[in-house]
Structure 1
Amino acid sequence: MSLTTPALLFPAISLLLLAYTNRFLVITQLIRSLYKQNDDNPNLDIRKQILHLRVRIIAIRRMQVAGISAFILCVVSMFAIFIQQLYFANILFAASLLLLLLSLVISLYEVQISGQALQLQLKNLAQRSDD
């Protein structure tokens, strides 16, 4: 394995972390907005949405932690290659890939729960329009 092998992950991990951060920021803005709405006009549906968004925030933070850890191990793997410790470099790079995979699996989970929340909201909208 050469230095370029782990370096290939740098752009992918960086873009992934950027996407995770954007998701985090959008959800935090939505939570703040819903929180203000609930303060002005208390509503059980809004509180449920906020609690559901809290689960998504936790998932996104875990995605970020796994992604950042993958990035760190990737850098340490490159350093191990640089100092000619190929055995450790391979182990570190494999661990980096596993953490990246974990991050993607958590991302898949977060996408699933966000889709479920959207379906519930659309169902509520359909029920209100029938009334």
Structure 2
Amino acid sequence: MEALTLTTPALLFSAVSLILLAYTNRFLGYASLVRQLYEKLKANPDQVLLDQIMNLRKRLYLIKNMQLLGVASLMFCVLSMFLIYIEVFLPAAYAFGLGLLLLIISLLLSGWEIKISVRALDLHLNDMEHFSEDNS
């Protein structure tokens, strides 16, 4: 096996940072949507809005966990870089491996969250189709 160098976890460092930025943008989009739904629900409470709120709660929970796992992955990546810097290579390799594992789990949660988001949009599209059929 080839020795772990400082550049290997450094590559993961930049990738995880970009992923965390994407997660944060999704979170901010959902926060805005929650505020909009809150105003709509106050004006006209109905079951569709309540279903959307339940769906958003699930997605926000997933994004929170995606972000936490991404941050933990980044921390282990930095720890790995530090351990390589002080020439403690075996723990550095384990820290790097754990960082990779946490990133994989974070990405799997991201895929799950995307699936839920698409399902929510599909329900919205179905509702619009029924609305247009009823008005025809």
Q: Same fold (TM over 0.5)?
A: yes
TM-score by length of 1: 0.98
Q: Over the residues paired in the alignment, what is the CA RMSD in angstroms? A: 0.6
| Residue 49 of structure 1: aligned partner | 52
* Alpha-carbon separation, structure 2, partners of 1:81 and 1:20: 29
Match of 1:5 among 8, 12, 19: 8
* Alpha-carbon separation, structure 2, partners of 1:107 and 1:91: 24
CA deviation after TM superposition for structure 1 residue 42, in Å:
1.1
| Residue 132 of structure 2: aligned partner | 129
| Residue 73 of structure 2: aligned partner | 70
Match of 2:36 among 33, 36, 39: 33
Structure 1 segments, 4+ long, off by >6 Å, are none
| Residue 102 of structure 1: aligned partner | 105
SS of the equivalent of 1:124 reads helix
Unaligned runs of 5+ in 2: none
The alignment covers a number of residue pairs equal to 131
Residues 16-42 of structure 1: CA deviation (Å, up to 9, x unaligned): 000000000001110110011100111
Unaligned runs of 5+ in 1: none
| Residue 20 of structure 1: aligned partner | 23
CA deviation after TM superposition for structure 1 residue 9, in Å:
1.0
